[in-house]
C-alpha cells in the first residue's frame, strides 16, 4: 500500500506544480504550455502505474488465499 500512497502523492505534487504554468499559458506563454503538457503526460503515466499496482494487489488477494 505504501507504493500506492507514494505514487498518488507524486501525482498530487505534479498536479499542484502545474498551477503556475497553467496561469502563464493562459497569458500566452507557449513554453508554459509545453511544460504543462509534459506534466500531464507524467500524471498519465503515474495513473497507469497506479492502475497496474491496484490490479496486481487485487489479483494477489484472490489467488494468495
Would you write out the chain's pLDDT as a tens digit for each of its 65 residues?
789 999 999 999 999 999 999 999 999 999 999 999 999 999 999 999 999 999 999 998 777 76
**Neighbouring C-beta atoms of residue 49, cutoff 10 Å:** 15
pTM of the model: 0.85
Helix (H, G, I), strand (E, B) or coil at 42: helix
Select from 13, 12, 30 the least CA-distant residue to 21: 30
Helix (H, G, I), strand (E, B) or coil at 40: helix
Name the helix (H) or strand (E) containing 59. helix 30-63
Amino acid at each position: 500500500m505504501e507504493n500506492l500512497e507514494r505514487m498518488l502523492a507524486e501525482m498530487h505534487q505534479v498536479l499542484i506544480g502545474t498551477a503556475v504554468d497553467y496561469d502563464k499559458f493562459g497569458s500566452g506563454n507557449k513554453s508554459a504550455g509545453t511544460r504543462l503538457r509534459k506534466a500531464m503526460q507524467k500524471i498519465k503515466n503515474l495513473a497507469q502505474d497506479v492502475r497496474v499496482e491496484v490490479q496486481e494487489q487485487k489479483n494477489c488477494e484472490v489467488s494468495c488465499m
